[in-house]
Amino acid sequence: MSKVILLGSGTSTGVPTIACSCPTCLSDDPRDKRLRPSLLYQSDTTTIVFDTSTDFRTQMLRYAVSSLDAIVFTHHHFDHIGGFDDIRPYNFFSGGKPMPLYLMKETLIALQTTFPYAFGKVEQLGGGVPIVETTIINTTPFTIGDVTLIPIPMYHGAMRVNGYRIGNFAYCTDTNYIPDTSLQLLTDLDVLILDALRYEPHPTHFTIDQAIDIVRILKPRKTYFTHIAHQVQHAECQLPYSIELGYDGLEITL
């Protein structure tokens, strides 16, 4: 048996958004409190986090993730890599064991550019640096412990990103275009977590209506939307049967 926890269901600014007084940002509904996008996947023997979001430290503490077998990246926008430095405590408490990272080449280049001190360009160690070992992935399935992941090529505007399928579960955040060949990799799902930013059009994310159209094509048995902006208030969003807005802390047993 496996378990999924949606660690963060928000967009790049988080919700509430700084300096905003819209109904969602002022809402008392805990489902309207959205950290930056990330996901935890736990099998009987393996624990994986997708992306080191800007809120990575808060998410690991909030959900008591005391050990990680690997981190898998979807892409390299800052809201998905910004918490990279907080890998260090996992190194500290594992005796200096490197954290395995699975990522596309472009994401590794972005990490090396954003966090150069973790990749050999260090003037002074200070409190230490993230110790990692990297595996470059693209479209070939790969295995971490007892978990096999199938990369799902997608586009986030002009940027190539990855969704991932594990068994009959798939996580597809940060996209506004899924090619037909990738849609074919997403059939017969029990659970799909899918990008749905807001009601209004956006150049790099699905709108809620566009995400609903994808669900109608794929027909997963259950769908949760994620990467939700502050323009969407949880209690006010009406969705078709079998689709719900995700929320921080949503736990799914597979």
Q: What is the pLDDT of residue 123?
A: 66
- Side-chain half-sphere exposure of 94, counting CA atoms within 13 A: 17
pLDDT digits (tens, 9 = 90+) for 167-223: 999 999 999 999 999 999 999 999 999 999 999 999 999 999 999 999 999 999 999
Query: Is residue 75 situated within a structural domain?
Result: yes
Q: What is the pLDDT of residue 139?
A: 96
**243-245 and 222-226 beta bridge pairing:** parallel
Q: What is the pLDDT of residue 124?
A: 61
Q: What is the pLDDT of residue 121?
A: 77
**What's the chain's average pLDDT?**
97
Query: Is residue 183 situated within a structural domain?
Result: yes
Query: Is residue 60 situated within a structural domain?
Result: yes
> Where do the DSSP E strands lie in 20-158?
38-42, 47-50, 70-72, 99-103, 132-136, 142-144, 147-156
The structural domain count of the chain equals 1
Query: Is residue 99 situated within a structural domain?
Result: yes
Query: Is residue 243 situated within a structural domain?
Result: yes
> Any residues with CB less than 8 A from the CB of 33 and at least 6 apart, and which?
15, 16, 248
What tokens appear for 21 in the block? 């007084």
CATH classification at residue 152: 3.60.15.10
Residue 8 has pLDDT above 70, yes or no: yes
Query: Is residue 254 situated within a structural domain?
Result: no
C-alpha dist (Å) from residue 2 to 101, 148, 247, 252: 21, 12, 19, 9
pLDDT digits (tens, 9 = 90+) for 118-173: 998 766 666 689 999 999 999 999 999 999 999 999 999 999 999 999 999 999 99
Residue 249 has pLDDT above 90, yes or no: yes
Query: Is residue 83 situated within a structural domain?
Result: yes
pLDDT > 70: percent of the chain? 98
**H-helix or E-strand spanning residue 193:** strand 191-195
Residue for token pair 């624990």: 47
Q: Considering only CA atoms, which of 178, 231, 234 is closest in space to residue 206?
A: 178
pTM of the model: 0.97
**Distance (Å, whole) CA 36 – CA 165:** 21
Lowest-confidence segment of 21-25, 73-77, 127-131 by average pLDDT? 127-131
Q: What is the pLDDT of residue 125?
A: 64
Please spell the DSSP secondary structure of 165-190, one letter per residue.
EETTEEEE-S-SB--HHHHGGG-S-S
Residue for token pair 């690997």: 70
**Distance (Å, whole) CA 207 – CA 196:** 5
Question: Whole domain around residue 96: which residue ranges?
Answer: 3-248
Query: Is residue 188 situated within a structural domain?
Result: yes
C-alpha dist (Å) from residue 24 to 21, 229, 230: 8, 9, 6
> Where do the DSSP E strands lie in 15-113?
38-42, 47-50, 70-72, 99-103
Dihedral angle of Cα 156, 119, 113, 157, to the nearest 10 degrees: 0
